[in-house]
Structure 1
Amino acid sequence: MSNTEQTGSVSSLLSEALVADPHGTYARLREAAPVHRTATPDGEPMWLITRYAEARAALADPRLSLNKANAKTSGEYRSSMPPELDTHLLNMDPPDHTRLRRLVAKAFTPRRVEGLRMRIQKLTDELLTTMTGPRVDLVHALAVPLPMSVICELLGIPETARLDFRAWTDTLFSPAPGAATESRTAMRQMHQFLKSVIEEKRNSPTEDLLSALVQARDDRDVLTEPELVSLAFLTLFAGYDNAVHLIGNTALSLLLHPRLLTAVRGGAVPIRSVVEETLRWNPPFALAVRRFALEDVSIGNALIPAGSRVWVSIASANRDGREFPSPEVFDPTRTPTHLAFGYGVHYCIGAPLARMEAEIAVWSLMKRFSELELAVGLNELEWWPTFHKRGLRSLPVMTC
């Protein structure tokens, strides 16, 4: 039996159907086969894993490398990321991954994150006071500025630069014509900005994560200069974008389930459980970081050739009925076994912080306003038109 017969074949991962209806499209793919041979928008061949068991195993499989030096599809993998920002955890395997992760992990332990609770609450309260209503866009009023402030304070990024960083980030995800050229410009600007901030930290260190990383680079020589800049970029970028969409998606989950919203307000259902179920039901990032097969790898009923690019669909795996009964139903009483933050050695290091930000932001929002409802129809909501993530560009609500 051929690979096409074994796995099914999808002409391109980026299709109007997938962007418009990711969960419906993934459901069809998932039921057809656990693994599909497909292609990226630039025509690069790849393999897509859609079922939970295969996805979880793949995420922890050391035969699937994050280092793109192991790519052999179409000759050479072409990354849009400049080398100056690409020497980071999402392009590394152990032992380099272990070495760099250890440096950052101290800032994201549950204890250290818990120490940020009061500050996150204060920032949230300040943002909520600016919502005068009756119509408010929760993405721009709350979901964007809160994570931006938190991660920038954690790293020690000046407040004056935060609007620039937000603009750069939006450019990287833009699907508009000419976006590739604009993205390269934005990345160059981000690179120059981070280099200047790092130099400032060298001359005048403060009590923040970036100063600690600079010290580790200069005093202990445990990371290179490109690794330092790339690590700063990844921490800033991932720490911001993931949390933005988790806050937006969690708020939407409750707006779509008014009875549940009432139950949460009354204390019958913990907000933490709502965040966890949102991570399963509508995760901020639909795909895990791409991987490359170090050797021929059998996954499900597919034989993936060495050097092939592999993507794991978190969004699909999290709605696999083989793992989750009635997977389309939003049920915060489930035991959280989702893969929204990954699995294995590459599990998202910022997961505790993203969870806390979403819990505080959405809980405080509900307590401030006695009534909340969507200001537009469900079909009128505007999502980022990309297959990588599932995030709202705006979330208009009516408040009272």
Structure 2
Amino acid sequence: METETAPSPSPEQIDLSAPSVIADPYPAYRALRGRSPVLYARVPAGGAAGLGEPIRAYALLRHAEVLAALRDPQTFSSNVTDKIRVLPRITLLHDDPPRHTHLRRLVSRSFTPRRIAELEPWIGRLAASLLEATGDGPSDLMGAYAMPLPMMVIATLLGIPAERYVQFRSWSESVMSYSGIPAEERASRGKAMVDFFAAELEARRRAPSGDLISALVEAEIDGARLDTPEAVGFCVGLLVAGNDTTTNLIGNMAHLLSERPELYRRAQQDRSLVGPIIEETLRHSSPVQRLLRVTTRPVDVSGVMIPAGHLVDVVFGAANRDPAVFEEPDAFRLDRPPAEHLAFGQGTHFCIGAALARMEARIALNALLDCYESITPGEAPPLRQTRAIMPLGFESLPLVLRRSRATA
């Protein structure tokens, strides 16, 4: 049993959008949970460049508050892009029922248990080939493994060339890291991404090929086909959501295990621990920390009246370490009784790719356990990402990888 002991800062000193808090948000969550919902100033993209005043949002930090908001899309709307204009509108993510329900059905066929099971052998081979190329010794696990694996998987599902994953990753970062990339660069990357997907959609209209992009071209809602901007928004959402969450899940899991060599060795000997390791990583180091909603009416949350039309920061990461639900919430434990972590959300917007992400994480971890006798921290410290408010993850994760004798 290992517990983090970082001191909680004074609530008056906390900026939930500060890079230091993005890198390690948990001391801030502990300090503020008793005040939740807490109003804070959220710095918009390019705020330092004069793109506007800070945006104020209410953060929900308790498990019960987060769960209630996720289960009430009529009050806590996902259509936030009118409030934060620097956010690109992503089809499905920023839609509410009933339209969201219809849109979700369009892609659900690509994430059925049968379809996911069919992908497993190929993803296993892909993971093994990436580790074979990584080799033995010091390595940045993010660049060598955690980033390319999920990106290649979602690219293949979409029907686009997986070998261009570096470019796709750059585009994905321009969507997620809207608080850390200069506006001109974001606009340039965004235009390149939109132009690419518009061309792919036009190609499928001429010659469908059975992939996800073809499904978007052929789909109808209320008797009408999706127009190109909406279909492009769908592609962007699938590209981003299909890789970023899983990339951070794999990276966070590898980091936790590199600091727990005894647990790594236990998992090598007992693969029944793989599933619990994944679930505890999702809870303990949630790869998606928070998503925005906007209130459609005045609503009382824990005695705080939030006005209509106000931004609400639904903080999954804080909910998943709420001591009211999880005993010793800062400890990484595999012996927890069943409890409802919210790493994939809940309700209408429960992550459609959750089963795929879990499978990729399972394959990725088993491949590491098969290939490497040990994974330990490298000489350089890991570099946590600090540009994007939503995810928790690493820009780089230097590890020392030692091959198992059987694979050396």
Question: Structure 2 length as normaliser, TM-score?
Answer: 0.88
User: Closer, same or farther in 2 for the Cα pair 1:16/1:226, shift >3 Å?
Assistant: closer
**Structure 2: which amino acid aligns with 1:324?**
F
Whole-angstrom CA distance in 2 between matches of 1:293 and 1:212:
33
Select 2:116's aligned residue among 99, 113, 116: 113
Matched-pair contact (CA < 8 Å) for 2:175–2:240:
no
Range 302-311 or range 251-260, more displaced? 251-260
Q: Equivalent residue of 2:383, what SS?
A: coil
1:251 maps to 254
Select 1:312's aligned residue among 298, 311, 314: 314
Select 1:234's aligned residue among 234, 237, 241: 237
**Structure 2 unaligned residues grouped into runs of 5+:** 1-10, 45-53, 403-408
The answer to whether the aligner puts 1:68 opposite 2:80 as a matched pair is yes
Range 11-20 or range 218-227, more displaced? 218-227
Q: CA deviation at 1:203?
A: 1.4
Alignment of 1:1-400 (within 5 A): 12-30=15-33, 32-42=34-44, 43-61=54-72, 62-68=74-80, 77-82=83-88, 86=89, 88-159=91-162, 161-174=164-177, 179-217=182-220, 221-267=224-270, 269-288=272-291, 290-334=292-336, 335-376=338-379, 380-386=381-387, 387-400=389-402
Range 206-215 or range 158-167, more displaced? 158-167
1:26-57 C-alpha deviation (Å, 9 max, x unpaired) = 11111x32210112103111100001111111
Whole-angstrom CA distance in 1 between matches of 2:299 and 2:188:
38
Matched-pair contact (CA < 8 Å) for 2:23–2:392:
no
User: Closer, same or farther in 2 for the Cα pair 1:268/1:155, shift >3 Å?
Assistant: closer
Whole-angstrom CA distance in 1 between matches of 2:298 and 2:87:
27
**Structure 1 unaligned residues grouped into runs of 5+:** 1-7, 70-75
1:183-236 C-alpha deviation (Å, 9 max, x unpaired) = 121111100000011111111211211111111159953533322111111011
Whole-angstrom CA distance in 1 between matches of 2:139 and 2:15:
37
Matched-pair contact (CA < 8 Å) for 1:201–1:211:
yes
Range 166-175 or range 292-301, more displaced? 166-175
Whole-angstrom CA distance in 2 between matches of 1:106 and 1:201:
18
Whole-angstrom CA distance in 2 between matches of 1:20 and 1:219:
44
Range 103-112 or range 17-26, more displaced? 17-26
Matched-pair contact (CA < 8 Å) for 1:49–1:312:
yes
Range 330-339 or range 157-166, more displaced? 157-166
Q: CA deviation at 1:389?
A: 1.2
Matched-pair contact (CA < 8 Å) for 2:152–2:163:
no
Whole-angstrom CA distance in 1 between matches of 2:20 and 2:32:
12
1:2-28 C-alpha deviation (Å, 9 max, x unpaired) = xxxxxx878743125413431111111
Matched-pair contact (CA < 8 Å) for 2:92–2:103:
yes
Aligned length: 380
Matched-pair contact (CA < 8 Å) for 1:172–1:186:
no
1:70-106 C-alpha deviation (Å, 9 max, x unpaired) = xxxxxx6232245xxx251111111110010011111
Q: CA deviation at 1:296?
A: 0.6
Whole-angstrom CA distance in 2 between matches of 1:200 and 1:306:
43
Matched-pair contact (CA < 8 Å) for 1:88–1:227:
yes
1:295-350 C-alpha deviation (Å, 9 max, x unpaired) = 11011121100111001111111000000001011012322511011010110101
Q: Equivalent residue of 1:270, what SS?
A: helix
Matched-pair contact (CA < 8 Å) for 1:9–1:36:
no
User: Closer, same or farther in 2 for the Cα pair 1:140/1:96, shift >3 Å?
Assistant: same
Range 159-168 or range 127-136, more displaced? 159-168
**Structure 1: which amino acid aligns with 2:224?**
D
User: Closer, same or farther in 2 for the Cα pair 1:336/1:131, shift >3 Å?
Assistant: farther
User: Closer, same or farther in 2 for the Cα pair 1:132/1:56, shift >3 Å?
Assistant: same
User: Closer, same or farther in 2 for the Cα pair 1:64/1:218, shift >3 Å?
Assistant: closer
User: Closer, same or farther in 2 for the Cα pair 1:293/1:116, shift >3 Å?
Assistant: same
Matched-pair contact (CA < 8 Å) for 1:100–1:223:
no
Question: Structure 1 length as normaliser, TM-score?
Answer: 0.89
Whole-angstrom CA distance in 2 between matches of 1:87 and 1:148:
18
Q: CA deviation at 1:157?
A: 0.7
Matched-pair contact (CA < 8 Å) for 1:285–1:340:
yes
User: Closer, same or farther in 2 for the Cα pair 1:192/1:21, shift >3 Å?
Assistant: same
Range 204-213 or range 350-359, more displaced? 204-213
Matched-pair contact (CA < 8 Å) for 1:381–1:394:
yes
Whole-angstrom CA distance in 2 between matches of 1:221 and 1:392:
42
Whole-angstrom CA distance in 2 between matches of 1:68 and 1:175:
14
